[in-house]
Amino acid sequence: MNYKFIILVLFLCTLSTFVFSVKKKPVVKPIVEQSTKPLTVLLLDIKNKKKIYTMGKGKTGRHGTFYFRGEVKYSLNYEPNLKFTYKCFQKSPKKTACINKKNFNYPEPDIIERKNETIHLYFLNDIEVYEDFKYRKYKC
């Protein structure tokens, strides 16, 4: 009886070794991810719609974030205006969309006052860049 028990245990050990030693094929799942194309962003100051002054220029990161700082020449009444320039695909012409105070509610800026300067920080959450240019609604 001891021999039968030992043979059974050896058989089970061999079987478990065989079952667990077989390599499983890795499962390849396609990952669909929206890639954010870089946008050129200009921060403009429009003074009486006659002079347009570029306060800052930059490109968005891979997650669509951007940061730049600019200086205001006319500090009494400046109107920040964001201008986005981008391509829909590689061979397409560049499209431009502007976001100003009229069609986008800028949040109240965080104001930091220093000795020689006053800093206004705007934290913008999500900005939708529309691709509907039929009516030139977002023309700069």
Domain-wise residue ranges, the chain: 40-121
How far CA 119 is from CA of 30, 70, 110, 123, in Å, comes to: 46, 10, 8, 13
Mean pLDDT of the chain: 65
Tell how many helices (H) and how many strands (E) occur in the chain: 1, 6
Over residues 38-49, the mean pLDDT reads: 68
Q: Indicate if the pLDDT at residue 29 is higher than 80.
A: no
Contact 72, 78 (CB under 8 A): yes
Q: How far is the C-alpha of 15 from the C-alpha of 35, rounded, in Å?
A: 48
- Do residues 38 and 84 touch, judged by C-beta distance below 8 A? no
Of 134, 129, 121, nearest to 104 by C-alpha is 129
- Strands 40-47 and 51-59, by their bridges, are antiparallel
Residue 112's φ and ψ, nearest 5 degrees, are -115, 120
pLDDT digits (tens, 9 = 90+) for 60-87: 777 777 776 666 665 556 666 777 776 6
Is the model's pLDDT at 96 over the cut of 70? no
Q: What is the pTM of this model?
A: 0.47
| 136 pLDDT above the threshold of 60 | no
Phi, psi of 44 (to 5 degrees): -110, 150
